[in-house]
Amino acid sequence: MCVAGCEARVRSALSRRGFFKGAAAAGFAATAVPARAAEARSFSKVVDLTHTMSPDFPTFMGKPGIEMEREFDFKKDRFNLFWWHVVEHAGTHLDAPIHFSEAGLSTDQLPVEQLVVPLAVVNVVYQAEQEPDYGLSREDLAKWEEKHGRLPAGCCVALHSGWGELATADPARFAGRDVNGTFHFPGFSPEAAAWLLKERDVAGIAVDTMSLDIGSSQEFKTHQVWLPSGRWGLENVANLDKVPETGATLVVGAAKVKDSTGGLARVLALV
């Protein structure tokens, strides 16, 4: 099967090389990443990288990320319908560039070519076991490239810390909140994010924890480095242990809501 978006019509899209030179010169100004050519890929199975959303899913704010109010009931009304009250940044969700920039792209403005991309999974399960506030490092990326070659053009780099399983198995540990209210979970170090931005062609980064930054971060430096560049992030990604470190295609089915800074997403890996 050919992945949607991989056909020849995408091949005429703009080359990124010129953009990267420009972005470096502009100090990573808030600029949309142009659409790019994608190579044809095939797949034999689909892995769901999405957690089931519910009012019980751990959130950064500590309040339910979704509330569902029954508006119509089949027994009475002959159809079912809920009103949802949803926080944009809860559950498996997208961070759009506008989340951390004044004039960045909102979710509805992201080019679809940047939402179907090669997936590179960086395993830091061992490091995260030793240090809950582990920041994925430049060295981790170098090790991935030693093993698999250069990060594929236009890819998503995903942090696999092992935290994903905790979201349902041990929600308190997943959130990692200590007695002082400080979170502790792995994320991307700002240095690794800056390196990816400058040295590689990456559409987005993903984490199996609640934030692109490590839990104890107060300044959200990784968010600040990454999102204003016009790239996206994914948080609370599930099942990264069920996909290969390289070779899968990521499909980010983010809800297309006007001016949204992110939002619930159905995230799939085509393996």
Provide the binding-site residues for Zn ion, judged by CB under 5 A.
89, 95, 235
The closest residue (CB) to Zn ion is 89
CA distances (Å), origin 148, targets 42, 121, 144, 191, 194? 19, 11, 6, 21, 21
Cβ-based nearer residue to Zn ion, 61 or 103: 61
Q: How near is the Cβ of 107 to Zn ion at its closest, in Å? A: 11
Under 8 Å CB-to-CB from 4, ≥6 apart: which residues? 116, 251
Q: How near is the Cβ of 93 to Zn ion at its closest, in Å? A: 6
Cβ-based nearer residue to Zn ion, 6 or 237: 237
Q: How near is the Cβ of 95 to Zn ion at its closest, in Å? A: 4
Cβ-based nearer residue to Zn ion, 213 or 235: 235
Q: How near is the Cβ of 235 to Zn ion at its closest, in Å? A: 5
Distance between CA atoms of residues 133 and 135, nearest Å: 6
Cβ-based nearer residue to Zn ion, 152 or 190: 190
Q: Token pair for residue 119?
A: 């997936």
Return the H-helix or E-strand segment holding 130. Answer: helix 125-130
Cβ-based nearer residue to Zn ion, 91 or 132: 91
Amino acid at 202: V
The DSSP-derived string for 45-94 is -EEE-BPPP-TTS--SSSS-SEEEEEEE-HHHHSS-EEEEEE-SSSSSEE
Amino acid at 78: R
Q: How near is the Cβ of 131 to Zn ion at its closest, in Å? A: 23
Q: How near is the Cβ of 222 to Zn ion at its closest, in Å? A: 12
Cβ-based nearer residue to Zn ion, 38 or 205: 205
Q: How near is the Cβ of 101 to Zn ion at its closest, in Å? A: 14
Cβ-based nearer residue to Zn ion, 113 or 235: 235
Return the H-helix or E-strand segment holding 157. Answer: strand 155-160
Comparing C-alpha atoms, which of 85, 22, 26, 77 is closest to residue 59?
A: 85
Helix 190-199 vs helix 138-148: crossing angle, to nearest 10: 50
State the Cα angle at 259 between 164 and 68, rounded to 5°. 55
